[in-house]
Amino acid sequence: MTVKPTGELIHLTVLLDEAIEALDIHDVRANGTYIDGTFGRGGHSRKLLQQLGPNGRLIAFDKDPYAIANAEQIHDPRFQIMHDSFANMSACLEQAGVAQVDGILMDLGISSPQVDDAERGFSFRHDGPLDMRMDTTRGISAAEWLAQEDEQKIREVIENYGEERFAFQIAKAIVARRAVEPISSTRQLAELVANAVKTREKGKDPATRTFQAIRIFVNQELADLETGLAAAYEHLAPNGRMAVISFHSLEDRIVKQFFAAKVNVEQPDRRLPIRTVDLPKPKMRLLTRIKPSEQEVQVNPRARSAIMRVAQKIEGAN
């Protein structure tokens, strides 16, 4: 599959300066190795390359062929793009001959070109094929999944990944409609959901939660996140930093709990004869939690829900 880089659709990188600052790239660390877990349209990667020294190295990941096409426009010997999910970081780093990295950035948001391109099927605002795959070269589309999945599973996905209280009614409507005609376009699904959702949230399209849920499921986003966080920690060098930008509560909860588990290490019963020096120690320290400024949100409303959490691996942690 040949994909041309997109130039007509604009993407504003969220928390650009804050994310680069969080990785603390300076002095000897400027010649270290860093990871951009989601290249997107390259805002963070290009800024990172500006901060790296002549011997620095940046490895970026992305599942989207369009992102890969954009990344291939960067002609910098310090940069390498991997057409894969950050969930497969360990295998990819082994292939690249990298054991440890000095900093990892994971921006979990979908890019504006993905949302704004009707052909990708991510948005209910633009009529197009109901696809929703980040990687259009593999897996099944949202339309294919809705055509073959049973009603109970559809309800569970919409309820669990979209936190949609009308999941039962929506799933029932989907199964009833597909018996008459295939649900193959974003407009069909959006209209179906609008008819099934009787109480609407102020300022939010009734299809928002359903589209989010199906996109998350089709792309296995939460499972990839859990695997990716674990792999990122394993490859992070002592004193290395990890910054993760999430855009909805399900993602942020996973990130928050992951960091908390590394910071608040479970201690054994105090009555046991264990020396203080042998007690389990924290593996990471929390550094900061940052949200976009009011000014950034005014320029880029899609940044409103973003939260970046930053943690540092403690020397001697395993």
DSSP 8-class letter at 84: B
**114 labeled part of a ligand binding site:** yes
DSSP 8-class letter at 276: G
172 alpha carbon, distance to own chain's centre: 30
Nearest C-alpha neighbor of 245 from the set 5, 16, 10: 16
> DSSP letters along 199-254, please?
SPPTTS-TTHHHHHHHHHHHTTHHHHHHHHHHHHHHHEEEEEEEEEEE-SHHHHHH
**103 labeled part of a ligand binding site:** no
Is residue 97 classed exposed, middle or buried when 0-12, 13-18 and 19+ CB atoms within 10 A define those classes?
exposed
**107 labeled part of a ligand binding site:** yes
- Cβ-contact 66, 94 below 8 angstroms: no
Nearest C-alpha neighbor of 208 from the set 192, 193, 219: 193
**84 labeled part of a ligand binding site:** no
Instruction: Quote the CA–CA distance of 117 and 8 in Å, as a whole number.
Output: 10
- Cβ-contact 232, 104 below 8 angstroms: yes
Q: Where are the alpha helices (DSSP H) in 75-185?
A: 89-95, 112-116, 142-148, 151-162, 167-178
**62 labeled part of a ligand binding site:** yes
Binding site, annotated residues: 42-44, 62, 86, 107, 114
| Known binding residues for S-adenosyl-L-methionine | 42-44, 62, 86, 107, 114
